Amino acid sequence: MIDSAHITETVRQALAEDLGAGDVSAQLIPADTRMTGRIIAREACVLAGRPWAEATFLQVSPATELHWLADDGEPLAPNQCLAELSGPARALLTAERTALNFLQTLSATATATRAYVDAIRGTRARILDTRKTLPGLRLAQKYAVTCGGGVNHRLGLYDMVLIKENHIMAAGSIRAAVAASRALHPCLPLEVEVETLAELDEALAAGVQRVLLDNFDLATLRQAVKQTAGRATLEASGNVDIHTVRAVAETGVDFISIGALTKHIQAVDLSLRFTPQA
């Protein structure tokens, strides 16, 4: 669940960078002109971003009427209409690009996530996102990941302790870093990143219940699963793409984290066509 106040503020900032002192092009349209419009998917995709798009239109003009024909998380076919809208022409033209930016970007993340989820279907693994999100769109993109069937990892640096290579080096050992975490943040989830099977053993000996296996090859992943024997949840990460993810999932890991879900995306092709309202 994403707080509506957060969506409102994200939209406000997006509109502010686009509008500046005002939409000089929309001012060319008579103030009393009204229009209707349809948002069309030009390619197959998974829809995400309705709350942000709707907030965009309504912030520009509360008089806008928006009727959705598809839900977030729903697959769309090419040329499918996903929404109909009507309202003051100036307001619709002003809101158009910002609303589509949200829909196209978030639907791209949902679509990419669905492809990975489908690729590992039937295995025990689940697809995780990362913190490699577009600045200002962290919660929006993580929402989109869930629309695509993925699972959210930590939201930021505040809601989980993730002990990585440099933390271990600075602390002196995995055991020392784990002990510090438990002393300082006993109520937060804890995960340790390891780069070798020996480090995995050290993390397990410290009682860590979630381990990130960084850049393990398939044979080493299988050995890690065997070695762990259910004592911890295992997450595979690093150099995983849509062509290799199935093989990684079949090693028996619990999660696979994919940075590409939120950073290697190409906006889906949506269009908004207007007609004058009688």
Active-site residue, 246 included = no
pLDDT tens figures, 136-168 = 999 999 999 999 999 999 999 999 999 999 999
Q: Could you report the per-residue pLDDT of 24-78, keeping only the tens digit for each?
A: 999 999 999 999 999 999 999 999 999 999 999 999 999 999 999 999 999 999 9
pLDDT at 276: 84
Residues 6+ apart with CB under 8 A from 33: 88, 89, 90, 276
pLDDT of residue 277: 80
Q: Would you say residue 124 has pLDDT above 90?
A: yes
- Judge whether residue 1 has pLDDT over 80: no
The total number of residues shown for the chain amounts to 278
Q: Which one is catalytic: 34, 38, 126, 132? A: 132
Active site residue 23: no
pLDDT band at residue 278, thresholds of 50, 70 and 90? low
Catalytic, 54? Answer no
d(CA 166, CA 163) in angstroms, rounded, equals 8
Q: Which of 38, 138, 164, 263 is catalytic?
A: 164
Going by their DSSP bridges, the two strands 190-194 and 210-214 should be labelled as: parallel
Examine the pLDDT at 8 and tell me if it is beyond 70: yes
Write down the pLDDT at residue 91. Answer: 97
Catalytic residue (choose from 42, 97, 124, 273): 97
Average pLDDT value for the chain: 97
Assess whether 84 carries a catalytic annotation.
no
d(CA 241, CA 131): 17
pLDDT in tens, 173-212: 999 999 999 999 999 999 999 999 999 999 999 999 999 9
Q: pLDDT tens for residues 79-93?
A: 999 999 999 999 999
Q: Is the pLDDT of residue 120 over 90?
A: yes
CB 263 within 8 A of CB 137: no
> What is the per-residue pLDDT across 219-231, written as a single tens digit (0 to 9) for each?
999 999 999 999 9
164 is catalytic: yes
Task: Compute the distance between CA of residue 254 and CA of residue 118 in angstroms, rounded to an integer.
Answer: 16
Structure tokens at 205: 């000996």
